[in-house]
Chain A
Amino acid sequence: MARALINLPKTAKAGDVIAIKTLMAHPMETGFRPGADGRILPRNIVTEFVCRFEDEEIFRAELFPASAANPFLTFTWVATRSGRFSFTWRGDGGFDQTETASITVA
């Protein structure tokens, strides 16, 4: 399983704007580059990223072959209530990974 780093504050005050940072270890092979044997390496990229807060979608991104390896996505969210985020990356070759993180809103 690929490694992901997720960073967000553990606690926040209601109404605060918090930054959520995600970093996913992924080669993001474009599908245009030749390998050591001269043949084109098959495309292997993350195509979709979704962040949900308690099953409500709050952020979505589509990725394409020009993205760098280990895509880093950061976005903001207005803290409303305590709960759990789920982060899902999907991509070529059946790549599908979900991570979770929680926040306490006082």
Chain B
Amino acid sequence: MPRRSGTSPPAALLAILLSGTLAGAEPIAPADRRSGFDQMSPAIQAMQRDDESNPGLLAVADGAELWTARPPSGRPACSGCHGEAASSLRGVAARYPAWDARMERPIDLQDRVNACRREHQGIEPLPYESPDLLALTAFVATQSRGLPIAPPDDDRLTPARNRGRALFEARQGQLGLSCAICHDDLWGRRLGAAVIPQGQPTGYPLYRLEWQGLGSLQRRLRNCLTGMRAEPFAYGAPDFVALELYLATRAAPLPVETPAVRP
């Protein structure tokens, strides 16, 4: 698939013909992908853009502190191995979820933080949605701010990615909706008073005004599943990571916005 629609007519025609014949055609072409940022009110856009008013930065500052804090086990702090986060972690979050050879499954950034704690720091993993895990994840992801989401080209991820796509497109819950019905087909239109975004996970963990706090992509997905009256997966479920994987592929090459602000 071409990355831009503004290619020469024969190439564009070829792309259209190809996308019609390929079973795995992308529902939203890369050039049409939009961050939810573009659909927010100017006031909330300003809140996110301005580092002095973005409340997500409070958690990032907490994360920076945790990054250099020595764990009680006496092993090195995060910074002991990784050094200066601004250089060593630049672009890392843009590649997650990624394959973990030790666990032999794809893991997202939160799982990566917890795997590091367990294996290298000898301390307990942090619970999902705990302020410390969100702060560390936000701190790590913020180092990739502005870089395009670049899912790894790794064949071992393909089954999970396909599973994620199947979940995204499958009808579920009492309302019989799928993620794709709203976010692939009806984005830009309204659901009640709210504009339907494409559902691009560009800014997680993000500060949601409705939550009055920071939350992960899994929390957001649980919200959506509950809204569809489907049973949400448990935090850390492989199906969530599969969805995150597909969503990252679907969002590339939008830039990472962490910590984003959403209504």
Contact = CB atoms under 8 A, between A and B. Distances in A.
A3 B61 contact: yes
B55 A23 contact: yes
Contacts of A70: 55, 58, 212
Contacts of A21: 52-53
B62 interface: yes
Contacts of A5: 52, 57-58, 61
Given A3-B62, A70-B58, A23 B53 contact: yes
Interface string A15-59: 000000101010110000000000000000000000000000000
A68 interface: yes
A74 B50 CA distance: 13
A69 B212 contact: yes
A68 B212 contact: yes
A68 B53 CA distance: 13
B62 A72 contact: no
B60 to A, nearest CB: 10
Contacts, number: 31
A67 to B, nearest CB: 10
Chain B CB within 10 A, most for which of A21, A28, A70, A72: A70
A69 B214 CA distance: 11
Contacts of B213: 27, 69
A75 to B, nearest CB: 13
Interface residues of A, number: 13
A7 B52 contact: yes
B111 to A, nearest CB: 25
Contacts of A27: 212-213
B209 interface: yes
Nearest to B62: A3
A44 B61 CA distance: 23
Q: Which of B53, B57, B209 has the most CB of A within 10 A?
A: B53
Contact of B55 (A7, A72, A74): A72
A37 B167 CA distance: 33
B261 to A, nearest CB: 11
B213 to A, nearest CB: 6
Interface in B21-57: 52-53, 55, 57
B159 to A, nearest CB: 37
Interface string B46-88: 0000001101011001100000000000000000000000000
17 contacts: A3-B62, A5-B52, A5-B57, A5-B61, A21-B53, A23-B52, A23-B53, A23-B55, A23-B57, A23-B58, A25-B55, A27-B212, A68-B209, A70-B212, A72-B53, A72-B55, A74-B53
Interface of A: 3, 5, 7, 21, 23, 25, 27-28, 68-70, 72, 74
Given A5-B58, A28-B212, A68-B209, 11 more contacts: A3-B58, A5-B52, A5-B57, A23-B53, A23-B55, A23-B57, A27-B213, A68-B212, A69-B55, A69-B213, A70-B55
The 7 closest A-B pairs by CB, nearest first: A69-B212, A7-B52, A70-B55, A25-B58, A21-B52, A3-B58, A72-B53
